[in-house]
Amino acid sequence: MTKQITLSHVDKTYIVGEKPLHVLNDINLSIKEGEYISIMGPSGSGKSTLLNMIGLLDRIDSGSLVLENTETTALTEEQRAKLRRNSLGFIFQNFQLISRLTALENAELPLVLAGIDTSKRAEIVTKLFESLGLAERLQHLPKQLSGGQLQRVAIARAMVMSPKILLADEPTGNLDQKSGKDVVAVLEQLNLQGITLIMVTHDHELGARANRQLKMVDGVIVCDSGTSIEKDTKNEVA
């Protein structure tokens, strides 16, 4: 398997009030194509920030981030947006669906942004909805769908551009146990099809299902099952 994402000496600091808050400290991480990675850690440990950095939603302060053989630090905002659109799929804890749009319209948004024709868009989304068991829900508004269905619509939206990397931030956080399991099953199925899956979760059981588990504390990866790295830390991993 070839390297798909490489982070070298990545730092990120936010200014909170007047004090600097080091959210990521010297992160070095290499992710290969098709990996299934879970990122765990206590609140404020930097796991979502790390996911946002990999997803190009935020900029790193120093170091380098290579995504699909592209060094991203020097890219313009427009180039980063297009890379996000074409190579990455996002799944959020609170689904992030637009309430006035139907399930179909929500799912096809990345295709709309990419300028794909209406008929082609409908074809892609319908196929995905069928595979996700949502064929009857195309014209439903988000308020007419259950939590599990909402997250599956969000998965469809993440998948319409056929990305090679899927980034999921607490994808089961707002779901009941059964819906959560269904969603995880869908994600794992996608991973089996060769898509790299990086998932942030608080759920140990869910995190343990990943082939590679990262544990973060205070902006540092303290444990990486893929490389057997384990660092000492003052704080306990939750």
Smallest gap from Cβ 99 to other proteins, in A, equals 9
Looking only at the bridges linking them, the beta strands covering 19-32 and 3-16 are antiparallel
Which residues, including other chains, have CB under 8 Å from residue 82's CB and lie 6 or more apart?
none
Q: 68 or 105: whose CB is closer to other proteins?
A: 105
Smallest gap from Cβ 233 to other proteins, in A, equals 26
Name the E strands within the chain: 3-16, 19-32, 36-40, 62-67, 70-71, 88-91, 165-169, 196-200, 212-217, 220-224, 229-230
What does the binding site for other proteins look like in residue numbers (CB under 8 A)?
Answer: 52, 55, 57-58, 77-78, 81-82, 84-86, 90, 92, 96, 98, 100-101, 105, 109-110, 112-115, 157, 161
Sheet (strand 229-230) strand order: 88-91, 165-169, 196-200, 36-40, 212-217, 220-224, 229-230
The structure tokens listed for 38 are 């879970």
Smallest gap from Cβ 155 to other proteins, in A, equals 13
Q: 15 or 234: whose CB is closer to other proteins?
A: 15
DSSP 15: E
Smallest gap from Cβ 32 to other proteins, in A, equals 24
Name residue, tokens 């195309």.
Answer: 138
Smallest gap from Cβ 157 to other proteins, in A, equals 7
Smallest gap from Cβ 194 to other proteins, in A, equals 21
- Distance in angstroms (rounded) separating the CA atoms of residues 215 and 226: 11
H-helix or E-strand spanning residue 110: helix 109-113
Task: Say if CB 182 and CB 148 are below 8 A apart.
Answer: yes
